[in-house]
Structure 1
Amino acid sequence: MSTRIPIGIVMNGVTGRMGYRQHLVRSILAIRDGGGVPLSDGTVLWPEPVLVGRNEAKLRDLAARHGLTEFTTDLGAALARDDVQIYFDAQVTSEREKAIGLAVAAGRHIYTEKPTATTLHGAVELARAADAAGVKHGVVQDKLFLPGLRKLQRLVDGGFFGRILSVRGEFGYWVFEGDWQAAQRPSWNYRTADGGGIVVDMFPHWHYVLEQLFAPVRAVTAHVTTHIPRRWDERGAAYEATADDSAYGIFELDGGVVAQINSSWAVRVYRDELVEFQVDGTEGSAVAGLRACRVQHRATTPKPVWNPDLPVTDAFRAQWQEVPDNDEYDNGFKAQWEIFLRHVAEDAPYTWDLWSGARGVQLAELGLQSAREGRRVEVPELGR
């Protein structure tokens, strides 16, 4: 039987939707259910979560539900424990910067949701502080691990597209206002003062997707709006939605690639998945979603003719080919957790650090600037 090595993880914000479902249940507890994380020397890393939040009753109930014993509302006490090596943050964005700063000062390795801070200055200062402290740091970039995007990455790596010309992304769904049907997202998402807004939420995602799959972003042009100005919160009280709920962005990448991505919580879905990316190249095209990916090669591309006087007879969707799985795809959050845990335990390679997170915050900040000023904004290199 392999030697089990415990690794303590302070998990802050696990009473929230994302922190609970994806990070605690589907990642850390799933890793434990699977026997831990095997290391190269034959030992097994065993995550020991310490749950942190503001509501002791919720923490106690959550811990009891999953057979856990360690929880507290005192973040400082949790970070001071000798058996803790990692701090994880899934709180609301407005609370994240201060908490990560405390964890860095305590010498804990950092793994966090995004955005890493409410401002670019704050995100950069966190990255610099973590580097200076010598702690390892990572940022959740889960969409890179989605089956559809992993298939898309395989196509890029294999040269399927030839020269990539453009990327078109559609993301979003209708989030109910909360008056006659409960909203699917927490109300703070729609208040600027609480760190809400679709730009600060989604542009960091689009940054790492574009940067990792295609090329660095060099300029952004964005139009941002609040389509639904009045919503109802979790208690049924009406409130003014001060944060943007829709953003329409054009991103210019190295090499002349142009990406257009629409993000909206005020759109009804007429596509196969909640997010889809179409990539067009000189040799072929692909459409990738959360799980599926379809391709059309240059040699099999049909020759449509525009004729508005006759009904369309082409079955356009049927002319695309499904990309096979050719692999087993685990939960994306869990997969990235395992990579980060190996990074901490044995210095295995890891790419997505606080600097990557800061570049995502930078893109969101510049996107909002572009929308305010009605102009194209270049994206400068971040100095360390």
Structure 2
Amino acid sequence: MAERIIKLPDVGEGVAEAELVEWHVQVGDVVQEDMVLAAVMTGKATVEIPSPVEGEVTFRHGEVGDVIATGTVILKIKVAGQDAPDEHDEPESKPEPAVAVEPMQERMAPEPAAVETPPPPKPVEKPRAPAAPRAEGDRPLASPAVRLRAREAGIDLRQVTPTGPAGRITHEDLDAFLERGSGKTVGAGLQPNTSIQEVKVVGLRRRIAQKMALAKSRIPHITYVEEVDMTALEELRARLNAQPGGAQNKDRPKLTILPFLMRAMVKAIGEQPGINAHFDDEAGVIRQFGAVHIGVAAQTPAGLVVPVVRHAEARDIFDCAREVARLSDAAKNGTAQSEELSGSTITISSLGAMGGIVSTPVINHPEVAIVGVNKLAIRPHWDGTQFVPRKMMNLSSSFDHRVIDGWDAAVFVQRLKTLLETPALIFVEE
């Protein structure tokens, strides 16, 4: 029997540590070769650690949320079918010395077997009285197995009467609770729920929290909101999407509003390059970029990530749409590479139909601007003589007020409004 030691691997990018975000095994589990054992995160990329062997987990180091140095032993797996231990195995215990056999002639005749007397009967254990109820807000006492069973059954342990030592909840207490019908009686009415659930902030959620705190603590935001008439652009988008497939456009993706907005941003940035910049507040330097790398904030099961469409200035409408779709799928599937989730120079924040009327998007530090897309809806619009139904949408955009004045922010948004309301201008090369 041998033991295989698994260390936290070098996940690349020159990092010396990684955050443990998932455990897929526990001590005592039998694992198969290539089975995922754990997942760690560096930056915003998650790396899975597979098992190199088949065997039983005998040791596990670290809890979810811990930051572990590269090369640290995180698992040990007992491997069956190997006679000799490998270099990481523990030394086998030495055999005990053999016991000498006494000469036959010196052995004494066996004594008659003693008659065993039956043990005295065990005293009848009196049923334990229920413990006093715990104070409101106190965490109930229970073993991990009891907590797991209660969680799977949807039981709030604070509603279970404990009978174990020191007020500990036992499996029998859960059984009794379930037999009583979760303690609810007909006509009992609404019951207070004093439960408190602690959720550890780890992985991507912790990275998001850190970045949002950094952005809000360092950047004085100014948010500018403008209403945009999207009727003409929506008609153009519908026509382009309805075009029949052919040899030249059979691979064309379906167009959303985002590719048009991205191209409008490229044109507006050409007139105001200071919008497409990073502010290094520690060095006191503004870096204006010729390349327009647009981050598109995307919600995933793990949290908010920002895949980046690189060189939007060199992409047409359909190429932008194709890249947005590819990156969005990769982000939601967890397959996006680290370089695809960093390096943006300006960001779009869009919640689609959930976008609301107005929002106050947080700037993606160290950028100086973010464009927020709100919900598209048909609203009455005054055309000078009467109210007519138009497809309207608000843009809620935030700017770093240390480097972008209110006037410049307004000029930028008004230019976007003009381009989106007259979409033919987006395609005019100047």
Normalised to the residue count of structure 2, the TM-score between the two structures is 0.18
Normalised to the residue count of structure 1, the TM-score between the two structures is 0.19
Task: Give the helix-richer structure, 1 or 2.
Answer: 1
| Larger RCO of the pair (alpha carbons < 8 Å, separation 6+) | 1
